């Protein structure tokens, strides 16, 4: 269940695993007349950590929402927790970076238009103009930034300036065929999502469908992940697969893979914007809806 059109809060939390966490959090919410609509939790016995995502109906709170959020600090600190509240309803300000292909961009725009994703797409940024007409059809600003050769570094600084000006909260690489510089990855850590056209960690880098064909794989896939400075190695949010037959050519694999890419990226964005992910080192804890 989602509450993005209702008044409420989402709370994400992680802390060292210990007795009584659920009872303490539930008691805090109930103590202020809040109603727990969802309480998803995961105790990592190997790592000794506790992860949780809560949706709270605040329509009957006996305090102001901001006072409720600030008051949670006492409990959060006692649990030695990291936590984050999001006030509902909301739409996450999102920029989409593209190069030539538009199937992933199409999926994002369509789902946003249908109301499936609570995002406000501030702009589409491309190092090619192939997706400009699609942006125009949706009346979304398109910025063409040249990044070939020596223009690459300056191009990333232009993108950075746009993201700052537009107060972007999430940047999606929808088949943006450029390797991001380390400084860019570092600044937007946890706010950069990429779709890679293979089932990572297999076939990292360029031409994964050709690599898959040459290896004679029986399954191909796509991986939606957070971006880090390590190429195609960030925490995985979602993956999708399709079965491959011996007679499929590299172009057939690319055709099948496009379905995987669209679905994995759409779900990955959905999980992120609904605050259903918590990054834990090299992995992402995901609470699916």
Instruction: State the total domains in the chain.
Output: 2
Please give the DSSP secondary-structure letter assigned to residue 204. Answer: -
User: Is 1 inside a domain boundary?
Assistant: no
Q: How many CB atoms lie within 10 A of CB 103?
A: 14
Q: How many CB atoms lie within 10 A of CB 47?
A: 13
| Residue 71 phi, psi (nearest 5) | -65, -25
**67: domain range?**
8-88
Q: Which of 232, 252, 275, 289 is flagged as catalytic?
A: 232
14 shares its domain with 157: no
Of 31, 61, 88, the residue at which a domain comes to its end is: 88
User: Is 3 inside a domain boundary?
Assistant: no
Predicted pLDDT at 215 = 78
**Spatial CB neighbours of 258, under 8 Å, sequence gap ≥ 6:** 103
Using 50, 70 and 90 to split pLDDT, how confident is the model at 200? Answer: low
Does the structure show a pLDDT above 60 at 42? Answer: yes
Please name which of 226, 243, 222 lies closest in space to residue 234, comparing C-alpha atoms. 226
- Cβ(95)–Cβ(169) under 8 Å? no
**Spatial CB neighbours of 85, under 8 Å, sequence gap ≥ 6:** 9, 10, 11, 69, 72
Q: How far apart (Å, rounded) are the C-alpha atoms in residues 198 and 261?
A: 9
To the question of pTM greater than 0.85 for the whole model, the response is yes
76 shares its domain with 98: no
- pLDDT tens readout for residues 53-74: 999 999 999 999 999 999 999 9
Predicted pLDDT at 5 = 53
Using 50, 70 and 90 to split pLDDT, how confident is the model at 2? Answer: very low
Of 34, 67, 88, the residue at which a domain comes to its end is: 88
| Residue 234 phi, psi (nearest 5) | -75, 170
84 shares its domain with 210: no
53 shares its domain with 196: no
Of 70, 88, 106, the residue at which a domain comes to its end is: 88
> Can you point out the beta strands (E) in the chain?
8-16, 35-44, 49-57, 82-88, 92-98, 119-126, 142-144, 170-173, 192-196, 219-226, 236-243, 277-280, 283-286
User: Is 263 inside a domain boundary?
Assistant: yes
User: Is 50 inside a domain boundary?
Assistant: yes
Does the structure show a pLDDT above 90 at 237? Answer: yes
User: Is 136 inside a domain boundary?
Assistant: yes
In CATH, what number is assigned to the domain containing residue 246?
A: 3.40.50.170
Predicted pLDDT at 153 = 95
146 shares its domain with 53: no
114 shares its domain with 68: no
Predicted pLDDT at 286 = 98
- pLDDT tens readout for residues 84-98: 999 999 999 999 999
Tell me, yes or no, if 232 is annotated catalytic: yes
80 shares its domain with 168: no
62 shares its domain with 113: no
**Hey, what are 41's tokens?**
């939790």
In CATH, what number is assigned to the domain containing residue 54?
A: 3.30.70.260
User: Is 226 inside a domain boundary?
Assistant: yes
Q: What is the arithmetic mean of pLDDT over 104-130?
A: 96
């Amino acid at each position: 269940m989602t509450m993005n059109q209702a008044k409420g809060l989402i709370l994400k939390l992680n802390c060292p695993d210990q007795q009584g966490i659920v009872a303490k959090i539930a008691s805090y919410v109930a103590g202020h007349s809040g109603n727990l609509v969802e309480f998803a939790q995961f105790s990592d016995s190997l790592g000794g950590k506790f992860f949780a995502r809560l949706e709270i109906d605040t329509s009957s709170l006996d305090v102001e929402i901001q006072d409720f959020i600030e008051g949670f600090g006492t409990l959060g600190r006692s649990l030695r927790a990291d936590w984050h509240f999001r006030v509902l309803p909301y739409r996450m300000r999102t920029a989409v970076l593209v190069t030539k292909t538009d199937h992933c961009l199409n999926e994002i725009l369509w789902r946003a238009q249908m109301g499936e994703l609570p995002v406000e797409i501030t702009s589409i940024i491309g190092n090619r103009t192939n997706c400009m007409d699609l942006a125009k059809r949706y009346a979304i600003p398109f910025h063409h930034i040249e990044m070939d050769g020596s223009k690459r570094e300056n191009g990333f600084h232009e993108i950075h300036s746009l993201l700052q000006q537009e107060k972007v909260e999430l940047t999606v690489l929808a088949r943006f065929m450029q390797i991001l510089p380390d400084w860019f990855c570092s600044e937007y850590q946890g706010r950069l999502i990429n779709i890679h056209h293979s089932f990572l960690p297999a076939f990292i880098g360029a031409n994964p469908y050709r690599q898959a064909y040459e290896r004679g794989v029986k399954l191909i896939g796509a991986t939606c992940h957070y971006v880090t400075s390590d190429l195609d190695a960030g925490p995985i949010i979602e993956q999708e697969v399709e079965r491959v037959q011996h007679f499929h050519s590299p172009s057939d694999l690319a055709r099948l893979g496009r379905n995987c890419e669209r679905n994995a990226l759409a779900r990955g964005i959905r999980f992120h914007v609904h605050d259903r992910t918590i990054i834990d080192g090299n992995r992402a804890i995901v609470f699916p809806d």
